[in-house]
Amino acid sequence: MLKYIETTGRNEDDAIAAALSQLGLERDDVSVEIIGRAKAGFLGIGSTPAKVRVSYEVPDEVPQPVKAEIPVTKSQPVKTEPYAAKPPEQKKQSAVPLKRPAAASEPSTDQDEVSIQITSFLDGLFQHMEISAQAVVTHGDEESYDVVLEGENLGSLIGRRGETLDAIQQLTGYAVNHTRSKRVRIRLDAENYRAKREEALQRLAEKTAARVVKYRRNVTLEAMNAYERHVIHAALQEVPNISTYSTGVEPHRRTVVAFSPEK
């Protein structure tokens, strides 16, 4: 289920930071739409804050099953036979119950259950896709899990610019989070694709910023997912005379690298 909140701030970055603080989410977990840009006014008169709309995913509510009423039937009378005395039986010695040794393993934690859910879902998915791959799950920082896919010829799981990998990551997140009250974040990678893609995006951000400063014209990049847009924003956050913001709606949302002489 998609929800959103609207916040304001001195500039777009402050408005986005205020929304992330309220939601307790990270930048790549949300989509941001600029509703209104900040205006300085004249001598502080007539100034208006920046306004943004931040959209985020929440698990759908699972309907509770309705219990069916079981009809009560009248019991039939039971026929009894005349009492017949039985010969006395010899008393048997009561068996002494054997004490079972205590289990050495500790009960599984919630983190272990999440890892099992991730592995089980991906194993079933790869079986249907007829792909030989194995998921190695590790617990990262708080409420996040890193999943590395291992196998040969995993290019089909990565897809064009990681589109297939992103889709599998999103499906895995839905499969794990739709029954949980507290959301966990899952990061999926194969053949070190994420690191390679991040380096390529950082180089793209630097080249684009240099062109924007040189010609003093804004440049709109190609459509990217939330994670890739976050890499662009982070790479250019401290670059002089450069600001970034996102425009459009998913899955065609794009990052704009803008010339900002006041920054």
**Highest mean pLDDT: which of 60-69, 107-116, 126-135?**
126-135
Comparing 228 with 63, the larger pLDDT belongs to 228
Confidence at residue 111, expressed as pLDDT on a 0 to 100 scale: 53
- The pTM of this model reads 0.51
Instruction: Tell me: pLDDT of 80 over 50.
Output: no
Band of residue 103 on the pLDDT scale cut at 50, 70, 90: very low
DSSP 87: P
Give mean pLDDT, residues 86-106. 47
Strand order in the sheet with 144-151: 133-139, 144-151, 185-190
pLDDT tens for each residue of 115-128: 999 999 999 999 99
Residue 246, helix vs strand vs coil? strand
Task: With a cut of 70, say whether residue 97 has pLDDT above it.
Answer: no
Overall average pLDDT of the 76-103 stretch: 48
Whether 105 shows a pLDDT value over 60: the answer reads: no
What's the alpha-carbon Rg for the chain, to the nearest Å?
30
In this predicted structure, what is the pLDDT of residue 182? 86
Tell me what the pLDDT averaged over the chain comes to. Answer: 79
Could you give the CA distance from residue 239 to residue 212 in angstroms, rounded to a whole number?
Answer: 12
Tell me what pLDDT residue 77 has: 52
- pLDDT for position 100: 44
Least confident of 107-116, 131-140, 160-169: 107-116
Q: How far apart are CA 6 and CA 9, in angstroms?
A: 11
* Residue 244 vs residues 8, 43, 127, 224, 230: alpha-carbon distances, Å: 17, 26, 42, 14, 10
Q: How confident is the model at residue 17 (pLDDT cuts 50, 70, 90)?
A: confident
3-state secondary structure of 132: coil
> What pLDDT score does 140 carry?
75
DSSP 136-203: EEEE-STTEEEEEEEES-THHHH-GGGHHHHHHHHHHHHHHHTT-SS--EEEEEETTHHHHHHHHHHH
What pLDDT, on a 0 to 100 scale, did the predictor assign at position 160?
85
What is the C-alpha to C-alpha distance for residues 220 and 258, in angstroms, rounded to an integer? 8
pLDDT at 218 over 90: yes
